[in-house]
Amino acid sequence: MNRLRFDFSASKIAPTSSGIAINFLPLTSCPPLHLAILLAKDSPGEYECHGDLKLREGNDVRVAKKKLRMAAYEVTITRKVSRRCFRLEEEWVADSLSSRDDGVMRSVAKVHVLRTQKTVGDIRQREASQDVQGIWDIASEAVEDYFGEIAPATKRHVAVLILDAKGDLRFGDLINRSAFSNGLGLCGSRSLYTLPSYLEDVVSAFSDCSRPGDAIGNSDSSESGSFWDIATSAMKNMIEAFISPQPPTQPRELEHINRTFLMKVLVDCLRFRYHPCFRIPTDPVPPALPDNPQVYAVENGIVAGAQSGIVLVEIYTDGVYRAHREFTNKPEREVSLLEDDLRGSLPDSHKNRPMKLRIYSAGQGEAVVEDFSTVKSSKVQLPNGYGVAFKSSSLGRPKAGGSIPQQLILHTVTPGRMLTSIRVFHNSALGGLEFMYEDSSTQLFGRRESSENQGKFEVSDFPLDTRKGESLLGFCVRSGAQVDGIEILTSFGRRSPMFGNPHGGGASNTLIPPRGRSIAGVSGSYAQCVDGFSILYK
């Protein structure tokens, strides 16, 4: 419980006061945002600073920690979702948030100081050449060395200030990555000197109209101007590096972040609604791995589905965001995305342009449909005049020229043929699936025998209770470059064990046909093991 009292007094007006009570519940079961400062191995531990401020408060790591901690608390103010807010990792140290009680021991945001084995020259060379992957590798290696024993990479969120980077690191794909959306967010030390070190400095920092001029090289930037202009830009960069998912669902007003302390500004928070860092106790437990949406073509559009539910669909034309559909109040296990409906939400000049979709699940998974018209036309002709089937999105990454493509139509598309069991060939990956029928016929997808440089395949059978009418419903697949593991799902709600590597792959993907449709076959490719997999349905 926090009780706040506001006193007002002015000439010719009677003084008055009012109070408000705010309950704060620290959700320690939610993953925190870690703050870190990264230094080169030969770093002097200083950032570039305007002369007056350098004399007044300094520009070393100690001051940088204060400014980063203060910026993180400002981000929590500006980027909350209703009463939801992410938490910062804390430690019991001398508080630096208020200049009035600097040194009082409290639980405040912890700022880690990391060292990389790279030099200042290495960092600035990559920065000057805008080497996105080089900068990312330097930071990710240092973070893994430091945080590797604290939390696995898939569970941690780290915002890193690279003190020896002179710019803001807002170039290339770095602008599309953040601590919440990619587990790691990076920003440089440019304009760090303008940010407040204490709560008492916030208003003055974002309303200071004086100009630093070109004292530290700001004159060549479009963001040059008043101190508050530069501070706003620096804060915008930190927000993007800390938490902002990219690209935005609507144009951001981060250039006006200083107004956050004057009036309410709308922000795009749709993706934060189901992020584990914003979870409250009444929310469902998030899945252990990202629950990637799956895309299924149907006659007049596509169906997107995810076990955790679909929460957001963004629509792009010409590489630019145009509109979105949201399902944040109640995520839908399946959503129908009809072409006429989607095009109706586009500006008139873009209604006939190719559409790209980004689809997000409540389980923090993402699927990208590069071209809507291509996906909806993914049809397969069934034999013997039994119509057409559609193909789901594909999992895995087949090797160009080294994988054998295969498409298998199940005998069950013929009336009267009954699937009785599925035999799985596997070791640390999926080798093949053999579908077995009541008339003793079989169909093989993939391979039965392992190659010479692989371990021997294990053989596992999963029977169906055909006497009670049990049938194949779909598959749960763990995949990365190949299909590492597979579960068989039935119409009775049964699941087989995870055949293959239960911990392999980067994500868990559930392939179940849309409502009212059934599996007609499987499709994909294989080399030493299955490296491409999708289902056919009708």
Instruction: Check residue 497 and give its pLDDT.
Output: 94
Q: Is residue 34 very low, low, confident or very high in pLDDT (cuts 50, 70, 90)? A: very high
Q: SS3 of 386, please? A: coil
Q: How far apart are CA 201 and CA 227, in angstroms?
A: 13
12: left (phi over 0), alpha (psi -120 to 50) or beta: left
| Best-predicted range by mean pLDDT (75-89, 246-260, 380-394) | 380-394
Measured CA angle at 254 (ends 274, 270), to 5 deg: 20
Shared-domain flag, residues 337 and 236: no
User: Looking at residue 334, which CATH number applies to its domain?
Assistant: 2.60.40
**In the predicted model, is pLDDT for residue 313 greater than 60?**
yes
Q: Is there a domain that residue 326 lies in?
A: yes
Main-chain dihedrals φ then ψ at residue 240, nearest 5 degrees: -65, -40
- Residue range 123-176, pLDDT digits in tens: 999 999 999 999 999 999 999 999 988 878 878 999 999 999 989 898 888 888
Question: How many Å is the Cα radius of gyration of the chain?
Answer: 28
> For 392-417, what is the mean pLDDT?
87
Q: Judge residue 156's burial from the number of C-beta atoms within 10 Å of its C-beta, 0-12 exposed, 13-18 middle, 19 or more buried.
A: buried
pLDDT greater than 60 at residue 266: no
CATH number at residue 478: 2.100.10.30
Residue 392 located in a structural domain? yes
List Cβ neighbours of 124 (8 Å cut-off, separation of 6 or more).
164, 165, 166
Is 301 in the same domain as 383? no
Q: 361, 376, 391 — which closes off a domain? A: 376
Range of the domain at 241: 29-273
In a domain? residue 319: yes
Same domain, 397 and 329: no
Do 347 and 449 lie in one domain? The reply is: no
Pair (365, 431) in one structural domain: no
Which candidate, 69, 102, 106, places its Cα nearest to that of 88? Answer: 69
Asked if residue 213 is part of any domain, the answer here is: yes
Query: Which residues, 6 or more positions from 25, have their beta carbon under 8 angstroms from its beta carbon?
Result: none
422-481 pLDDT, tens digit each: 999 999 899 999 999 999 999 999 998 876 666 688 999 999 999 899 999 999 999 888
Tell me the three state secondary structure of residue 63. Answer: helix
* 301 and 258 part of one domain: no
Interatomic CA distance for residues 234 and 246, integer angstroms: 18
Q: How many CA within 13 A on the CB side of residue 136? A: 19
- Identify which of 376, 379, 357 has the alpha carbon closest to the alpha carbon of residue 367: 357
Q: Are residues 516 and 407 in the same domain?
A: yes
Query: What is residue 100's predicted lDDT score, i.e. its pLDDT?
Result: 84
Beta bridge partners of 489: 474, 495
Residue 321 sits in the same domain as residue 392: no
Q: Measured over all CA atoms, what is the biggest interatomic distance in the chain, rounded to whole angstroms?
A: 98
Residue 280 lies in a domain: no
Pair 249, 318 in one domain? no
In a domain, 16, yes or no: no
pLDDT tens column, 327-385:
877 888 899 999 889 999 998 999 999 999 999 998 888 899 998 888 766 788 888 88
User: Among residues 273, 305, 334, which one ends one of the domains?
Assistant: 273
Residue 20 has pLDDT above 70, yes or no: yes
Residues 102 and 220 in one domain: yes
14 is a domain residue = no
| Residue 74 in tokens | 């400002």
Within a domain: residue 475? yes
> Which contiguous run of DSSP H or E holds residue 121?
helix 120-128
pLDDT band at 262 (very low <50, low <70, confident <90, very high): very low
Q: Domain tally for the chain?
A: 3
pLDDT value at position 222? 42
What tokens appear for 49 in the block?
Answer: 């600073």
Q: Report how far residue 187's alpha carbon sits from residue 294's, in angstroms, rounded to the nearest whole number.
A: 33
Residues 81 and 93 reside in one and the same domain? yes
Give residue 185's pLDDT.
Answer: 92
Q: How far is CA 507 from the centre of its chain?
A: 12
Strand-pair category, 442-446 with 430-437:
antiparallel
Q: How far apart are CA 36 and CA 140, in angstroms?
A: 12
The DSSP letter of residue 350 is G
Asked if residues 308 and 318 have their Cβ atoms less than 8 Å apart, the reply is no
Give 207's pLDDT tier (boundaries 50, 70, 90).
Answer: confident
Q: Are residues 303 and 417 in the same domain?
A: no
